[in-house]
Amino acid sequence: MATMEQVRRQLEEAGQAHLLRFWPELDPEGRAVLLGELSALDLRELRQHCLSAAAAASRRKGLDEIQRDMKPMPPELVGSVCHSDPEALASWEQEGFHLISQNKVAVLLLAGGQGTRLGVPYPKGMYNVGLPSGKTLYEIQAERIRKVEELASEKCGSKGTVPWYIMTSEFTLGPTKTFFVEHDFFHLDKSNVILFEQRMLPAVTFDGKAILEQKDKVAMAPDGNGGLYRALEDNQILEDMESRGVQYIHVYCVDNILVKMADPVFIGFCVSKGAECGAKVVEKFDPAEPVGVACQVDGVYQVIEYSEISPENAQMRNPDGRLTYNAASICMHFFTVEFLKTVVREMEPHLQPHVALKKVPFVDEEGNLVKPIKANGIKMEKFVFDVFQFSKNFVIFEVLREDEFSPLKNSDTADKDTPTTARRALLSQHYRWALKAGARFLDTGGYQIPEKLSLSERDDPPVVCEISPLVSYFGEGLEVHMKDKDFTSPILINKNQVKALTNP
């Protein structure tokens, strides 16, 4: 750890000496905390970070400039679960399973954010949305990894392993590690669950000063999910992947309850197209939906954030009535290890941070805590999709929203992306799977409940039926459990048991 005099001198050189203004008031413990935090910062980079944040906030790019040469993705670079022929889908799936069986596929989870909007003091992966099983997001995802490994082994005759890399932050590393240990890594080999930490960056005022959150603490935030690329280098993750023989990576966000872990169809499609990177998308129906879209800008493939699309372009429609810019990104991406090596070693310094204006609590000149009512600070972050622009071969793969995308972002006081909508999405999916497998559902009087196949995100399914990922990865193999059988809601289908429940 640097000495106090070294830190003071470096802060003065960086124009950030105000971070020590309460030093005389701090007790020995407070001084140790602040000195440790400042020593952990790269104070040589701090000056540039603060200047860049202030400059970026003052020149936020105009919509007209961003969209000057905006075009939708060309059809030849688009795959689809709905519009691709069944033979192609089967071929891609088989290729994906083959690669999994050969230990060539890993999954990488972006889990550095806090559950602030969700209203919980712990990482979102630990959240239980209220399923009959009581499973958390982490448990569901772990079981999907186990099942896709099992299916690959059955189909290809060799047992492969899908390593699980989990990028955390200062806020989420400790709780996540403890949670996995307490749950015995959900019966995965703990050597195949690799946790690593992304960098943190100080929040900055509009005039380029790092913000003190407390007298002995700088206001810090993760450097965005695009901080992945520096974290890969900091933690030698690509070296670990290469040592395991991994060549392809499925990257996803923690909050999507419907995520298909190491999706063999998506992996197979991307590999068959020779892609260096790819993105899953769903069709965007509402022009105002706050999601980024995959498109071309100045001939470069990228995802443009919803806030950077003008109302005119957002509302533009094709002759068939579909939105022109309808490829909504759902933060599920494909990368080759070779491409990521190039990004980490050559391209990452060229990524331009995005500016987020935030309400950042701070201590004023008298040392009083202030909780601002309007944005007072800048948080600089990079996005994981920022590297698409560097790819020579980029593709997108369209999937059905009701099958693969239901994010958990807000508490149940919000209108969407809540525990209720996430739970409803999963149970609706399992209900559809059960009907397709030939199940019949009866009411308490013994009469068959009418099937309801068309469910909106605001509709609860007519029955509660939860299917363990260890039983079915994506609806396959359920006939042995359900065909021509009668069930009374609610039920929970586990690996070796169909369990009737007394309470939904």
More confident residue, 405 or 456: 405
Instruction: Say if residue 84 is in the same domain as residue 47.
Output: no
Instruction: Say if residue 238 is in the same domain as residue 166.
Output: yes
Percentage of the chain lying above the pLDDT 90 cut: 68
Instruction: Say if residue 54 is in the same domain as residue 180.
Output: no
Instruction: Say if residue 139 is in the same domain as residue 16.
Output: no
Q: What is the pLDDT of residue 60?
A: 55
Is there a domain that residue 457 lies in? Answer: yes
Based on the structure, what is the number of domains in the chain? Answer: 3
Spatial separation of the C-alpha atoms in residues 416 and 385, rounded to whole Å = 24
Residue 140, CA distances (Å) to 75, 127, 146, 201, 365 in order? 34, 11, 10, 31, 48
Q: How confident is the model at residue 172 (pLDDT cuts 50, 70, 90)?
A: very high
More confident residue, 305 or 282: 282
Is there a domain that residue 387 lies in? Answer: yes
Instruction: Say if residue 9 is in the same domain as residue 157.
Output: no
Instruction: Say if residue 427 is in the same domain as residue 482.
Output: yes
Sequence-distant (6+) residues with CB within 8 A of 370 are: 361, 362, 363, 364
- Which domain CATH number covers 469? 2.10.10.100
Spatial separation of the C-alpha atoms in residues 425 and 402, rounded to whole Å = 7
Instruction: Say if residue 428 is in the same domain as residue 396.
Output: no
Is the Cβ–Cβ distance between 134 and 77 less than 8 Å? no
Q: Quote the pTM value.
A: 0.91
Is there a domain that residue 239 lies in? Answer: yes
Instruction: Say if residue 496 is in the same domain as residue 465.
Output: yes
Instruction: Say if residue 48 is in the same domain as residue 127.
Output: no
Mean pLDDT of 432-440: 96
Sequence-distant (6+) residues with CB within 8 A of 372 are: 359, 360, 361, 362
Is there a domain that residue 237 lies in? Answer: yes
Instruction: Say if residue 390 is in the same domain as residue 425.
Output: no
Mean pLDDT of 422-448: 95
Q: What is the pLDDT of residue 340?
A: 97
Q: What is the pLDDT of residue 428?
A: 96
Least confident of 49-58, 204-213, 242-251, 329-338: 49-58
SS3 167: strand
Q: What is the pLDDT of residue 389?
A: 92
Q: What is the pLDDT of residue 109?
A: 98
Domain final residue, candidates 400, 434, 459: 400
Q: What is the pLDDT of residue 59?
A: 60
Q: What is the pLDDT of residue 309?
A: 84
Residue 477, CA distances (Å) to 13, 93, 257, 357, 497 in order? 65, 16, 21, 49, 15
Instruction: Say if residue 161 is in the same domain as residue 223.
Output: yes
Sequence-distant (6+) residues with CB within 8 A of 191 are: none
Model pLDDT for residues 92-146, shown as the tens digit of each residue: 999 999 999 999 999 999 998 877 789 899 999 999 999 999 999 999 999 999 9
pLDDT(42) > 80: no
Token pair for 401: 């929203």
Q: What is the pLDDT of residue 482?
A: 94
Instruction: Say if residue 469 is in the same domain as residue 349.
Output: no
Domain of residue 255: give its range. 76-279+331-354+381-400
- Which domain CATH number covers 385? 3.90.550.10
